[in-house]
A and B are shown apart, each in its own frame.
Chain A
Amino acid sequence: AQSVAQPEDQVNVAEGNPLTVKCTYSVSGNPYLFWYVQYPNRGLQFLLKYITGDNLVKGSYGFEAEFNKSQTSFHLKKPSALVSDSALYFCAVRNLSSNTGKLIFGQGTTLQVKP
């Protein structure tokens, strides 16, 4: 069965410091991997995706993520955090072998960036 794990309920960082939000996945076959962000009382916003190619993908708002096939991980990173980055972050996976388009989401990680 497909699954996504975000091992940290909350990540706290100081503004200006680098941040990492962790994600590991389990799928049969090759995955499509995604990161979304949800601000309070807002829908989900797409940040970035890994489909194929370079393991380091860059996305919106200065975020990037590194795909590691051997560790089945897709951690979200940003070199310098902003207070405005504080939000709820979701990792998601889609199985390439499935034609349904179904996304499986992790449980979410709250990022708190303090001034």
Chain B
Amino acid sequence: SAVISQKPSRDICQRGTSLTIQCQVDSQVTMMFWYRQQPGQSLTLIATANQGSEATYESGFVIDKFPISRPNLTFSTLTVSNMSPEDSSIYLCSVDDRGHEQYFGPGTRLTVT
């Protein structure tokens, strides 16, 4: 299975600022995903990060708020822009293994004050 790392592991940010989260995979993968897990909640897909094209966003998530980059097949970034306390969540990236399951990074715990 793919090994996935995320940076930073956690951060405390002030409202109105932006944070970029990095996701690195140890092998080339076609599909990468970004999820949000709000406190005490389940996971919600934010977007699919497509290599060489714009990300595909789920309903309720927009590019201006969550810009995503995917410069190659092993790396992606998610930016949380103009943050508010409601953005306090765990953000996880995942990759789609050819065995159909997804493997997840350790997550980035974001607190917005």
Contacts and interface: CB of A to CB of B under 8 A. Distances in A.
A102 B96 CA distance: 9
B105 A43 contact: yes
Chain B residues touching A, majority SS: strand
A13 B75 CA distance: 41
Interface in A79-114: 90, 94, 100-103, 105-108
Interface stretch (B14-22, B42-50, B65-73, B81-89): B42-50
Nearest to A106: B42
Interface in B1-55: 1, 31, 33, 41-45, 48
Contact of A101 (B44, B96, B109): B96
Interface of B: 1, 31, 33, 41-45, 48, 56, 58, 92, 94, 96, 99-107, 109
